[in-house]
Structure 1
Amino acid sequence: MTDKVVVIYSGGMDSFTVLNRALKDGKEVFALSFDYGQRHVKELTCARNVCASLKVKHKVIDISAINQLLAGSSLTDNIDIPEGHYEADNMKSTIVPNRNMILLSLAVGYAVSVGAAQVYYGAHSGDHAIYPDCRPEFVQKMNDVCQIANYESVDIFSPYLTVNKTAILTDGLSMGLDYSNTWTCYNGREKACGKCGACQERLEAFAENKITDPIAYEQ
């Protein structure tokens, strides 16, 4: 018997690696993706394609109505996506209020319903500077709450919480993963912009692993 886990799978390179790490570790994966009105909705197409190819159980849930409550993010509102390094202060405009708490809460409910003991998500150390809901203290507190929120305890597990995107990619490459069907850019255009913080961090990870990113960029 394999252990059941829910993987929050955005379609980006981090969650793609998390998904495959869970499979590599022998877990029975229930992948869960969310349409929360993000302009880079192209990531969900990647998620669908990958799950279909891996024959992984996959749900894409439309929660875009929550944007009536969660205003002010450049990922969901008519606000320009900032350019520059991922840790620059202007990247704070990409914060979606309370996003990970909401997504984790839904994923934990799904985990209870399918009998999964863990929820995996792809927080990592590169997110810590800008995103409070990716920091170790947040993960620990959410994990504490999820032990008592239901009759069935569910663990919140972030396998890459203490390492950066370069290390995530290194692990993915060790598993032989193909990153051509992942999407990281915060802009939802045909090609990745190469200028937003998400693209900058991704390109840095590939450069530090001394390989070329397989996706197409505008320049």
Structure 2
Amino acid sequence: MKKNEKKAVVVLSGGLDSATCMGIAEKEGYMLHAITFDYGQRHSREVEQAKKIAAHYQVHDHRIVNIEFFKEIGGSALTDEHIDVPKKMNQDAIPATYVPARNLIFLSCAAAYAEVIKAEAIYTGVSGVDYSGYPDCRPEFIDSLNHTIRLATKRNIEGKKTNIYTPLINLSKADTVTLGLRLHVPYELTTSCYNGEEYACGECDSCTLRLKGFKEAGCKDPIPYKNTQVI
């Protein structure tokens, strides 16, 4: 490895957006490092798919971080089995699938990892356009966290900045899909369904946004769905 080779940490969930970020970081010429979180979510499918995506991109290192705390405190349909996963989006409220402070914690861990390996970039697939209303997907949150990282890390204090990049922040899901297809992102390896089964439900918030994106992009979603009418 060359001493001046630039490195990026990609927060890799196994989903469509994070896989697209991996494709973007590769195109930008970064040595790829991935970090995936097993946080007590309802299923392990997204972690398994993240492994496949990381293998596809031949990442230099793939870290899987176990955080049982989210499951222990509950408070989200994704981590608490007593809360049902909603089938329809409510545009007027933060949905039950919101995991408290998830991106704040994930990106803080990614920043620590980036500091140790001397990475100058952290990529995360948050979107401020087609998203579920999560407060930790907003541009102002990312701006604030970038500022905090510069104050909180040795690398940044010494003048070697590490920035969080959100290349999808202003893109619709259709725009993201179009970009990813142009970059040959392996969407067939991704998963989005909150229920985490082999065949996506096509009804949950995440499936709805994904299907809408592929439809508006004018192409077929390559993953299987239970209900063929949604494809």
| TM-score of the pair, normalised by structure 1 | 0.94
- In the alignment, is the contact (CA less than 8 A) between 2:122 and 2:163 conserved in 1? yes
- For 2:165, the equivalent position in structure 1 comes to 157
Match of 1:36, as an amino acid? Answer: Y
Instruction: Tell me if 1:203 matches 2:196.
Output: no
| Cα distance in 1 between the residues matched to 2:105 and 2:179 | 28
- For 2:14, the equivalent position in structure 1 comes to 11
Runs of 4+ displaced beyond 4 Å: none
- Pairwise CA RMSD of aligned residues? 1.5
CA distance 1:14–1:128, shift in 2 (3 Å) = closer
User: Among 126, 129, 133, which residue is 2:136 paired with?
Assistant: 133
Instruction: Tell me if 1:27 matches 2:30.
Output: yes
What residue ranges of structure 2 are gaps of 5+ in the alignment? 157-161
| Cα distance in 2 between the residues matched to 1:123 and 1:196 | 18
CA distance 1:129–1:204, shift in 2 (3 Å) = closer
- In the alignment, is the contact (CA less than 8 A) between 2:95 and 2:132 conserved in 1? no
Following TM superposition, by how much is the alpha carbon of 1:135 offset from its aligned partner in structure 2, in angstroms?
0.3
- For 1:59, the equivalent position in structure 2 comes to 63
| Cα distance in 2 between the residues matched to 1:40 and 1:204 | 24
Instruction: Tell me if 1:189 matches 2:175.
Output: no
Following TM superposition, by how much is the alpha carbon of 1:125 offset from its aligned partner in structure 2, in angstroms?
2.0
Following TM superposition, by how much is the alpha carbon of 1:127 offset from its aligned partner in structure 2, in angstroms?
5.4
| Cα distance in 1 between the residues matched to 2:87 and 2:93 | 8
Following TM superposition, by how much is the alpha carbon of 1:189 offset from its aligned partner in structure 2, in angstroms?
1.8
What residue ranges of structure 1 are gaps of 5+ in the alignment? none
CA distance 1:186–1:129, shift in 2 (3 Å) = closer
Residue 51 of structure 1 aligns to a residue in which SS?
A: helix
Map Cα deviations across residues 148-180 of structure 1 (whole Å, 9 max, x no partner): 101212211111111121111110011122311
Following TM superposition, by how much is the alpha carbon of 1:53 offset from its aligned partner in structure 2, in angstroms?
2.5
